[in-house]
Amino acid sequence: MPNDKIIFALPKGRILDEVQPYLDAVGIVPEPAFYDSSSRLLQFKTNLPDMDIIRVRSFDVATFTAFGAAHLGITGSDVLEEFDYSDLYAPVDLNIGLCRLSVAMRTDEAAKDNPKSWSHIRVATKYPNLTRKHFAARGVQAECIKLNGAMEIAPSLGLARRIVDLVSSGGTLKANGLSEVETIMDVSSRLIVNRTALKTMPERMQGWVEKFRDAAKKR
């Protein structure tokens, strides 16, 4: 039943280790290549004839699912906040991928700086919308330079004095001579559902929402 297949979009990278116990708990077993990061496949079969998985970047999980190319997905609350897609429903907090989105700058500058004095700042970030909104709320105009990774080298090379990026252990900031000066939001991964799929396949979609909700409660 290929036209009836549910496409489940999952994020690639470190987070997959935390996603795997959820898949086990809800009874989804991907084909072995899915957990092999050297595999060039992008779409994977599962033990369920009516479900395939795709493995994409977490930002793209939200986009595939918002446009209905995927029906279900797992992505971070940071990504949901950045895009603010109205076609996504995020019913379950999976309590994995825990980290925070923070403003950071060079440690030597942070010591002398007073965030309350900012009026116009330049920020290197993967999150331009969220960053602008965050600063606009307190009257600071943030000029954002969009990067897709390695934000941490921007301050030392003079691209921007400040960055907005995810912080987990803080190791990447420290290794690059940066310090957090402000936390914007705490982040965790969410189960997301395309709203049209929820209307057209209510039982199947609600069934998966309930399974993930139960699995989240049992953790």
Q: List interacting residues with ligand PRP (CB under 6 A).
A: 13-14, 149, 165-172
Go through 81-96 and write b for each residue having 16 or more CB atoms within 10 A of its CB, e for each that does not.
bbbebebbbbbbebeb
CB-side neighbour CA atoms (13 Å) of 13: 12
Minimum CB separation of residue 167 from ligand PRP in Å reads 5
Toward ligand PRP, which CB reaches closer, 14 or 116? 14
- The one-letter code for the residue type at 25 is A
* CA nearest to 22, candidates 218, 202, 198: 218
Toward ligand PRP, which CB reaches closer, 176 or 194? 176
Toward ligand PRP, which CB reaches closer, 46 or 58? 58
Minimum CB separation of residue 45 from ligand PRP in Å reads 27
Minimum CB separation of residue 172 from ligand PRP in Å reads 3
Q: What angle separates helix 202-218 from helix 16-26, to the nearest 10 degrees?
A: 110
Toward ligand PRP, which CB reaches closer, 154 or 198? 154
Minimum CB separation of residue 78 from ligand PRP in Å reads 10
Helices (H) and strands (E) in the chain, counts: 8, 11
Q: Tokens 């989804």 map to which residue?
A: 28
Minimum CB separation of residue 171 from ligand PRP in Å reads 4
CB-based contacts of 100: which residues, under 8 Å, 6+ apart? 166, 167, 183, 184, 185, 186, 187
Toward ligand PRP, which CB reaches closer, 52 or 165? 165
